[in-house]
Structure 1
């Protein structure tokens, strides 16, 4: 299974590409954990952005275009700075094949680890009160939701962190689908992409199907946690290997504090990769990012 998961990322980032991390060469060799992509913070107007990849993803590759441009590192911090906003951007890496296709406890464990790592990066009083924006691709959205649910359940430990989460962006995240049949179809489509069209893996499809009640339960429980957030949702408009992996209806939450739009020319893989920062494809995602950042820094960030 791990061999198949690796196929989703077309290319590895070479050692000669732009520096990905500020944590030194040892950290660059790792792929699991919360990695600092860029620290552009200043005295005021600071936000933390945390990106979470989906099934078959990688903390760098998921967000990197064919020309090695990584928008969360190479564009967002500087453009926010131009708007008078300062940011610190992290990307979370985890074993998505284990988290989503084995026992449901693995989702809980992974979400708890995500929370603990974010908390560990926010030690000073100013950092602990810094607004947070969550950005998730595909099933990474399920992990983000579960993390917020756990933060609410363990409020003595994570309540302050939960209160700092002001906004969320979802790219190609399957929000709906409460029945096993939906998740079986989703799993088959994703696996088709992982295998580049060479058939399916019945055990993997069965695993996602088996966990489908938990995915549905997470999405249902999260609706209450979503109430104070400003949410931007993006869905794919082009097929990948003949399939819309997450269609428009599945990608939309359908709640009042969400704005959902399609990304023209984007499939499930390319919806979060941008080679040209001047492109129309990137512009709508950047505009949404800036909007979420401005909202997060408002004195009272409650949705109107």
Structure 2
């Protein structure tokens, strides 16, 4: 993965919310005791436009602990409760990492199993949704969505309906959602959560009236849509593979994997039923565009077996107008991580986002004044 310099000191990112809207980058870094060249975003919050949210990337746990001590304190010295900032590393709910104040287009990223709303998309101090994408698709608001996707802590992790409902509740709560249009980028299990959410919107038009026309497109990154008819990789075994990778192979021994596989049999049926139902709802959908990105590099699935976590057949959405891309230099984890704006895989993804925006603009679905979409370089 070109462009990333491996650091001996790990990078961590802290989220700071409830920052006064008058705060600028320089004064914020000074208040935090961080160098002026610290990588960060500082954007208007998604729920309250009078407050701002920052993501600050620092080196080492010592600085993280120092910043976390600022939680529930005021950076400006005020004693008023409403001026106190909220500092965390969990990133639950929505976090804006790029403003896009001149248009009505959002890009929302949903991470996968055992993932994290920020680090799932980051390589060292480069987080492409924050640091690279806004330069290629200007004036687009970029949001991260975080949820507790830890299957170890939550025995109902694979009950997708629960996570879809939580996502839709958070989406409805966005202050300006009725005037926005959204392209979703989903990694692995996050794609299943979104599919269930989109079906809920289609099946419950009154409950989700504010969200009926929100979606413009979806980019699926190694999402397991279906079982393979030609290999032994059914959905249950694919989900076990995802669990192995997300928890670390050492953290999931063969006995635990077997138990997990049995417990996933119902989830496997649910995923296949959802695939058929989703195809029914969206096979002729003219507004919603789809793109599938498939991993091509194997990962270690056990001490003796290497393989693709999600095979290309499973990673292909059964919708006729869905486009498919095989990414030769990416495995299941790195297919969501980009550090070099010139690499081919990143430019393919930017190209698909651009195509979806142009499609929507040409049909009058999306209106963005003076939006300049930068095309990827030729290879």
Match 1:109 to one of 162, 167, 170: 162
Instruction: Extract unaligned runs of 5+ from structure 1.
Output: 1-10
Alignment correspondent of 1:143 = 193
Which whole-Å CA distance do the structure 2 matches of 1:18 and 1:164 have between them? 31
Alignment correspondent of 2:47 = none
Report how far residue 135 of structure 1 moved. 1.0
> TM-score if structure 2 supplies the norm length?
0.67
Match 2:320 to one of 240, 243, 256: 256
Report how far residue 195 of structure 1 moved. 4.6
Provide Cα deviations, 1:269-293, integer angstroms capped at 9, x if missing partner.
Answer: 0001001111112111111122122
Alignment correspondent of 2:337 = 273
| Count of residue pairs brought into register by the alignment | 282
Alignment correspondent of 1:209 = 265
Alignment correspondent of 2:238 = 186
Provide Cα deviations, 1:166-200, integer angstroms capped at 9, x if missing partner.
Answer: 11100000111289971332133223323533333
Match 1:292 to one of 356, 365, 372: 356
Q: Does the aligned pair in 1 maintain the 2:150–2:157 contact within 8 Å?
A: no
Alignment correspondent of 1:57 = 115
Q: Does the aligned pair in 1 maintain the 2:236–2:267 contact within 8 Å?
A: no
Alignment correspondent of 2:86 = 26
Distance 1:97 1:21, change over 3 A: farther
Q: Does the aligned pair in 1 maintain the 2:114–2:151 contact within 8 Å?
A: no
Q: Does the aligned pair in 2 maintain the 1:36–1:90 contact within 8 Å?
A: yes
Distance 1:159 1:69, change over 3 A: same
Q: Does the aligned pair in 1 maintain the 2:114–2:247 contact within 8 Å?
A: no
Which whole-Å CA distance do the structure 1 matches of 2:115 and 2:292 have between them? 19
Greater C-alpha Rg: 2
Match 2:104 to one of 37, 46, 61: 46
State yes or no: 1:218 paired with 2:278: no
Partner secondary structure for residue 128 of structure 1: helix
Which whole-Å CA distance do the structure 1 matches of 2:326 and 2:317 have between them? 14
Instruction: Extract unaligned runs of 5+ from structure 2.
Output: 1-9, 15-33, 44-52, 55-84, 301-305, 367-379
Distance 1:27 1:89, change over 3 A: farther
Partner secondary structure for residue 221 of structure 1: helix
> TM-score if structure 1 supplies the norm length?
0.83
Report how far residue 27 of structure 1 moved. 5.0
Alignment correspondent of 2:128 = 71
Match 1:234 to one of 266, 281, 293: 293
Which whole-Å CA distance do the structure 2 matches of 1:212 and 1:182 have between them? 8
Report how far residue 115 of structure 1 moved. 1.2
State yes or no: 1:172 paired with 2:225: no
Alignment correspondent of 2:137 = 80
Distance 1:105 1:238, change over 3 A: closer
Partner secondary structure for residue 234 of structure 1: strand
Match 2:180 to one of 130, 133, 138: 130
Distance 1:100 1:258, change over 3 A: farther
